[in-house]
Structure 1
């Protein structure tokens, strides 16, 4: 039975991907005899119910049902994917009864984790499931390899769906008119983006793309790692060896994997292939020029009088693949060579995959410095633009975990890489260890207690403790491997130390770590006592109950000795990974693929902080500061997959690190803030992803990405990547907000006074005394004021109608009040406070028939901008009413406090001695209705601050990128 099943597996699975049919129409091998009775539902039900672990029939149905559950587009079901309703539709089409449904549901639970979020333009349908199945050689090979690597059915089906979503949005490679799609795929740091673009490349080549250019980061380290991954999992042995005589040992000497630990056993083999893949770069050699001559890209056509993209030519031609570094000289050589190739260049369906697309690829030149309206581009951006121009059939797909720089690209720049066609946010993968595992974002849980060890001034640097944790976790891995943990043996075991980007600092730190190591006494009684205490106090307390962990240190002690020997191999536990070649770096070639075991403490900066996978990473010691969110996020190498040892992962991180001479920052808090920024971005995409009547609501160019900034000191990206960013919201619950950009035109001033009339009418007629005791400042602020209340909707109408000398300065605050009003934890109403002077020199006036109000004298300091409007003594009460401070000590003030109430302080301002009419009124054209406000601290999740940005579209300057669906105006 097993042999028959495997022989039919590919055909059966391909047929079943097209959707379920009635069981009697499906051909399954249920016994070696292959009797007709084998296809009876009763027999099948009995087989499924009796199936044990490893049963091949059960495995096939597990695979197939999961594929149907996850299919994003299913013409046989209107139910959403990943739901019980979708599974019910499947069973109905199969004709399964209740007993069989129950048996299958127990064997194959519905996978309900979220799928990818897609924002897309409408596109011509050319890559259906049928057409994909018809040409799927390299994809099928890749899929089978992933299963051999231990990927679950859900993980493979999820990758299938996500990569299909990319390829179907590319242009049909056989299309007559040239079109180049632009897209962006957003993943998580260390979450498997390479697997996704490998799947995309496999499917694209199967479909007819014949030139694949992978821009593999800016470092040789990352480019080489990416080349090897594609060679191993996609290109395969036959294509690597193509042109060499396998029987000739001398011919194989030049193969770049002859000293690779995994060659050839773990490199995919293809056998007979429908077309070859030719590598234009190798593991060690980046693109210099076409070694085989320009003819390497002069693709031979079977029908010479017809274009290459005609199916008879296209599907018989070999594909070319190159992995190139984003380096000026490398890309210049590539562009130079392509220009020599001739007319066929315009016929080649090309896929450009840009790994880490927010790095180097984005144009960071300042638009204000462009000459005579001409776009000036930075080097790499300009070369990518040239590539796209030379290859009109080139599709560009960027991949990144930090997309902020990419979404700030001008959508109207047709030669740039803005994802105008699609933007896909990949889901958090199953088994991935990410932000939720290190931060208790909902305020509950034990993530921080389990994995995070803070470095404070009063804890000392904890470096020795981190090193102890490293040797102890190495011993625990060896202990588990000896007891049959499926993920063992653990080939690599690493610790990352990241404090600085400076090479001199790396050398000093390596020397210090080396000294600490040799003074740690890991063979002495004191050293073992220290490790025993760490095991008892930390690792035993947080150990995974499903994994073997010794109850006594004595059982672990032999493994400690073995771990120490592995880490100290060569006499040095430290490897410096940077551009220098000092004596520490020369001790070992940091190549996780060619080296049998890397058990080392890695000290580095940039080379270890973007894209490059640090394998076996278990202990991280991190203290480097930066003001850029995307840079900080890319340093989170501790995110990733940790099978068999996720409970051992520890992060030692600075909680009081100097940012300036007078300011310290909490790096753990910073990571949490930027992770919230990222999740906010993803949730904004989800808001617009649902189709309406089968069509996209909006395109990527219309979506306001609303990139968030939860901490004021850390920006979403570098300043040179944010020239095209517009500030749209400043959410500051519980914080004093004081606008100063009021108009000067008399008509505008009168308009504003008219707008404020409902607020003035809400004020009481008798002044009250408000008091707020400030223990912190040792003050007891007290003043008289007229007060009243106004509901949030009424105040929003006032604020929306105001005129400003610089509207953009207040609009981000207004946007936050609008969104707060929409949220469940928003704002009900506002206490309006109009301070009244008691001095004999006070000036009072009525405004448009209001009660007499005290006028405040203020002056403009910079152009149309005032200096300070408010008085410090007025702030305490407002902050208390908004829930941003403790008890005021005043019963009246406390009676005014509400959970969802904000405070607004109104100041009628004059800039010179006022001229009052005989009835005591003032002409509104000669005064400014100024104000300050404090939104309730409860009006945002966790009471946190937030800043959000969106992209400026130069082609749509006169209106917002997208209308708010609930504006109503």
Structure 2
């Protein structure tokens, strides 16, 4: 580089810095700032133009729109965000995290820049955007939106509002964290503190006009939201337009979506949220949730509502994260032996008889006197918690250690449970004083090595651990945290950080709140909806240095529900990721997210009212028959006949694929419909049934009739080239289909199965989605993940649908390592199938895959307990 070139670049760099400062101080766009410098500073136009060009190029390099589903029309293809400033709020936040030794900061920087760039440009007065960020339960969402706040105010936002759940404890925890990490320094004016929420603000105009940054952490409560709306209304529109507002809605699926059962009605909190958003002149609304099912069911045609119409993006978790998939396993795909992906051996089943003793009576008066003795399983969980805490202390981990007991959302039994647990602690402390540690030694012997492979620190000796148990028992605190309790789960460092806490509660502990150092959970409560059930799993998260110690006690069946929800969560995330960087808008993406027929209910009925008027799509979705009735040979014969009718008159041809897979191409949609109507699965196979509110089978048939009736379907017969079960002795046998003898597959069943209800949990293999597409067509395209395979099918599947038939051996055996599996308990071979809907587009170039979820309006008989917490519902 010549000396003149170096000088010129130095001038360009200085000019770039001036442009960035002008953007922030004058609240101008990038182009407007460049023109201002030309006109007011007399700088050489060619230098300013080159600085402008380089800043635009750097802005594009940030790749704001990559990794997100966006409405490109609202962005105009422009990337306004220039990256974090030096010596700004982000720098201070990053320095604080570095001092704490927080891992994954490079990834945090990348993700927060992506989300910040998706916000409305604060230098374009009048611009507004709504978006959604999907994280994971207990995965660091607060850390992410704290970083987004820091970068947003550096870039020009001036008023930050954080809506933090429906309970005081979560709001207080969020306020404390943000005050420590972001809202500190003389430039911040906070309208709320950890000890008080938002009251009436009488000097709102002066505050917003004169303070560099204004912030508030507000509970989603009608009174508090009304205060917020009144404050915003008092600020003149022309001033508010120049003071961009950032609204972060933490736990955005709770209370924010309209929970009224009729379109004409609006629930109280949703109405208040709409009023707040309507007052924003320039700014962004960003909902954060690990379970955004209800949010994407908001009617996208309701402009005043908070459907994330401008962007939807996801946050990744690190390999150290303990989520539903890692803890409970994944009800999704099978390996070569027909087994599903197992979870870790950290889940313990509470016997049904013991769980029943903890269920409080339905009569409110009787609940006041409900005081059952502690069952053996809870005593076991308590013993392991003390041992696990002692192990952590022996490892030098002197911070918080917590246990969660969640048996009911009713408040009255919580105090009785505290008395019982406190008495147990005193009893065992007395025994330890007599040198009787048999209870804890038994727990040590039973538990310490069951998840040893996850440990990142060595296990101390029993002698070292036992010497610390007296101190752990002595420091133990038992806290009740519910809507009526005076106590609150408090992790304020001012009260000490070396604390051992057992938290007993219900709804206030079931969402958002982080239980620091959580190692043991005892959980008997359940829910019929995806979102509530996932959010109640406080045990998810990061467990640095004690990865081998967490344990979860749950009732029988709840473990399988969570394994299934791991699949649902993966499906939703993969659905979003598979269309990121495509031409699909969030409105279309929202439609696609809603296309998971059957299973558990997605969310409460009163949050799905708009599904009556919002069309739902089946394009590119998949389902499999995982629950069969193996008790009647006539059902197997009927299903075999259904397969024969599906491929009648066609000769199956070999596929270039491992095993003995055969294909029948160009089958009509009408034959597929007849097959779906003829196939007999177990009644619990909800997606293949009309015995649901959604009329799932009829919706699927109507969709095929309208969008995929032609000869665009491939049928694959998934034979097996292996002759033996996993034991190497048992022959799997054969089944004849289409005149060809096929080797049967090995598919074991869950241990809860009976001949009348065979629960396979999963029957399809990972590559089945693309098994009919010649590998030469997609070449080196990635195909390791579900999102990869969806892209391949969408890009190279030529709009074809696929049905895969699985002949399952009556001699299927479970492998010796499969704890949750058993041999199939039937003497009849079984037939199962999976179906992959084609990717279809109509003449308007919109995703043409629409069916109605429900044909009739229904008013739920009871509110969702998540939106109406225990107590009076106004957690003041």
Task: Report TM bin, short chain.
Answer: 0.5 to 0.7
Cα distance per residue 1:323-373 (max 9 Å; x no partner): 1111001111221232223332343211111111111111122335x2xxx
Match of 1:468 in 2: 383
Measured in 1, the distance between the counterparts of 2:715 and 2:435 equals 60
Q: Which residue of 2 is the match for residue 277 of structure 1?
A: 188
Instruction: Give the deviation of 1:126 after TM superposition.
Output: 6.5
- Map of 2:4 onto structure 1: none
Q: Say if 1:415 and 1:327 are closer, same or farther in 2 by CA, change over 3 A.
A: same
Partner of 2:110: 161
Q: Specify the alignment match of 2:847 in structure 1.
A: 962
TM-score (normalised: structure 2): 0.64
Q: Counterpart of 1:311?
A: none
Q: 1:220-231 alignment to 2 at 5 Å?
A: 220-231=168-179
Which residue in the other structure is 1:118 paired with? Answer: 68
Question: Which of these residues, 523, 541, 544, is aligned with residue 622 of structure 1?
Answer: 523
How has the CA–CA distance of structure 1 residues 469 and 169 changed in structure 2, closer, same or farther, with 3 Å as cutoff? same
Match of 2:507 in 1: 606
Q: 1:964 to 1:230 in 2, by over 3 A?
A: same
Distance change in 2, residues 1:352/1:451 (3 Å):
same
| Corresponding residue to 2:669 among 797, 808, 814 | 797
Secondary structure at 1:646 match in 2: coil
State the distance in 1 between where 2:91 and 2:510 align: 33
CA distance in 1, matches of 2:844, 2:262: 20
Unaligned runs of 5+ in 1: 1-11, 19-72, 82-114, 240-275, 301-316, 371-375, 482-487, 568-572, 656-665, 691-695, 738-773, 832-885, 902-932, 950-955
495 and 892 in structure 1: CA distance in 2 versus 1, 3 angstrom threshold: closer
Alignment partners' CA distance in 2, 1:595 and 1:429 = 31
Question: What is the SS of the residue equivalent to 1:424?
Answer: strand
| Among 463, 468, 485, the residue aligned to 1:554 | 463
Distance 2:707 2:474 in 1: 58
Q: Which has the higher contact order (CA 8 A, sep 6+)?
A: 2
Aligned residue for 2:441? Answer: 532
Q: 2:401 aligns with which of 490, 493, 508?
A: 493
CA distance in 1, matches of 2:413, 2:705: 46
Tell me by how many angstroms 1:422 deviates. 0.6
In 2 relative to 1, CA 440–650 (structure 1 residues): closer, same or farther, beyond 3 Å? same
Q: Offset at 1:964?
A: 7.0
Equivalent residues of 2:716, 2:804 under 8 A apart: no
Can you list the C-alpha shifts for 1:244-270, whole angstroms capped at 9, x where unaligned? xxxxxxxxxxxxxxxxxxxxxxxxxxx
The answer for the alignment partner of 1:345 in structure 2 is: 240
Instruction: Return the match for 1:683 from 574, 580, 590.
Output: 574
Farther off after superposition, 539-548 or 439-448: 439-448
**Paired residues for 1:849-860 under 5 Å:** none
Asked if structure 2 preserves the Cα contact closer than 8 Å seen for 1:420 and 1:700, the reply is yes
1:584-636 alpha-carbon deviations (Å, 9 max, x no partner): x65x7634444214312111111111111111111011111111110000011
Distance 1:537-1:736 versus aligned 2 partners, 3 A rule: closer
Correspondences of 1:170-181 after superposition (within 5 Å): 170-176=119-125, 178-181=126-129
CA apart distance, 1:829: 5.6
- After superposition, the C-alpha distances for 1:759-808 in whole angstroms (9 at most, x for unaligned) are xxxxxxxxxxxxxxx98469899999896533654444325799999998
Question: Any residues of structure 2 matched to 1:395-406 within 5 Å, and which?
Answer: 395-406=284-295
Distance 1:677 1:75 in 2: 38
Per the alignment, in what secondary structure is the counterpart of residue 526 of structure 2? coil
CA distance in 2, matches of 1:606, 1:433: 22
CA contact (8 A) 1:677 1:710 kept: no
- Structure 2 residue aligned with 1:918: none
Residue 578 of structure 1: aligned partner: 482
Residue 706 in 1 paired to residue 593 in 2? yes
Separation in 2 of the partners of 1:630 and 1:797?
Answer: 34
Partner of 1:327: 221
Of 411, 415, 420 in structure 1, the residue corresponding to residue 300 of structure 2 is: 411
Question: Could you tell me whether the CA contact under 8 Å between 1:684 and 1:706 is conserved in 2?
Answer: yes
Give the Cα separation in 1 of the matches to 2:667 and 2:512: 48
Task: Indicate the SS of the match to 2:432.
Answer: coil
Cα 1:815/1:779, change in 2 over 3 Å: closer
Listed one character per residue, the Cα deviations across residues 897-928 of structure 1 (whole Å, up to 9, x for unaligned) are 67699xxxxxxxxxxxxxxxxxxxxxxxxxxx
User: Which residue in 1 is equivalent to 2:253?
Assistant: 358
Deviation of 1:299 (Å):
0.4
Q: Deviations over 1:707-744 (max 9, x none)?
A: 465873x211111111233665596644799xxxxxxx
Structure 1 residues 653 and 579 mapped into 2: Cα distance closer, same or farther (>3 Å)?
Answer: same
* Counterparts in 2 of 1:379 and 1:494: CA distance versus 1, 3 Å: same
Q: Deviations over 1:111-137 (max 9, x none)?
A: xxxx983111222576666x3345661
Distance 1:158 1:781, change over 3 A: closer
Please give the alpha-carbon distance, in whole angstroms, between the structure 1 residues aligned to 2:86 and 2:630: 75
**Matches of 1:547 and 1:510 in 2, distance apart?**
33
Secondary structure of 2:216's partner?
strand
Q: 1:208 to 1:934 in 2, by over 3 A?
A: closer
Contact 2:165 2:512 in 1 (8 A): yes
For the pair shown, the structure with the greater C-alpha radius of gyration is 1
Q: Is the 8 A contact 1:346 1:390 kept in 2?
A: no
Structure 2 unmatched runs, 5+: 1-9, 17-55, 355-374, 651-663, 678-689, 720-730, 747-801, 809-820, 822-830, 851-876
The yes-or-no answer on 1:203 pairing with 2:151 is: yes
From 227, 232, 242, the equivalent of 2:180 is 232
**Which residue is equivalent to 1:883?**
none
Shift of 1:174: 1.8
Kindly tell me: are residues 816 and 604 of structure 1, through their superposed partners in 2, closer, same or farther at Cα, counting changes over 3 Å?
A: farther
Matched, 1:137 2:83: no
Distance 1:326 1:527 in 2: 50
TM-score norm. by structure 1 comes to 0.58
CA contact (8 A) 1:471 1:564 kept: yes
Alignment-derived partner of residue 669 in structure 1: 560
- Structure 1 residue 80: deviation in Å? 10
Q: Does 1:508 align with 2:416?
A: yes
Aligned residues of 1:135 and 1:207 also touching (Cα < 8 A): no
SS at match of 1:404: coil
CA distance in 1, matches of 2:479, 2:736: 65
Contact preservation (8 Å) 2:455, 2:547: no
Number of equivalences: 635
Structure 1 residues 473 and 580: CA distance shift in structure 2, 3 A: same
CA–CA distance in structure 2, aligned partners of residues 469 and 77 of structure 1: 53
Distance 1:141 1:798, change over 3 A: same
| 2: CA distance, partners of 1:644 / 1:537 | 20
Aligned to 1:454, the other structure's residue is in SS state strand
Partner Cα distance (2:205, 2:251) in 1: 31
Q: How far apart are 1:321 and its partner, in Å? A: 0.7
Kindly indicate whether the alpha-carbon contact (under 8 Å) linking 1:139 and 1:202 is maintained by their aligned counterparts in 2: yes
CA apart distance, 1:322: 0.8
Change in 2 beyond 3 A, CA 1:328/1:717: same
Change (3 A) 1:679 1:346: same
User: Aligned equivalents of 1:325 and 1:79: distance in 2?
Assistant: 34
TM-superposed CA distance for 1:514, in Å, is: 2.9
Decide whether aligned partners of structure 1 residues 894 and 646 sit closer, same or farther in structure 2, where only a CA change above 3 A counts. farther
State how far apart, in whole Å, the 1-side matches of 2:702 and 2:350 are.
Answer: 39
2:394 to 474, 479, 484: 479
C-alpha distance 735-561 of structure 1, shift in aligned 2 (>3 A): closer
1:384 deviates by 1.6
Change (3 A) 1:960 1:679: farther
Query: In 2, distance between residues paired with 1:406 and 1:461?
Result: 41
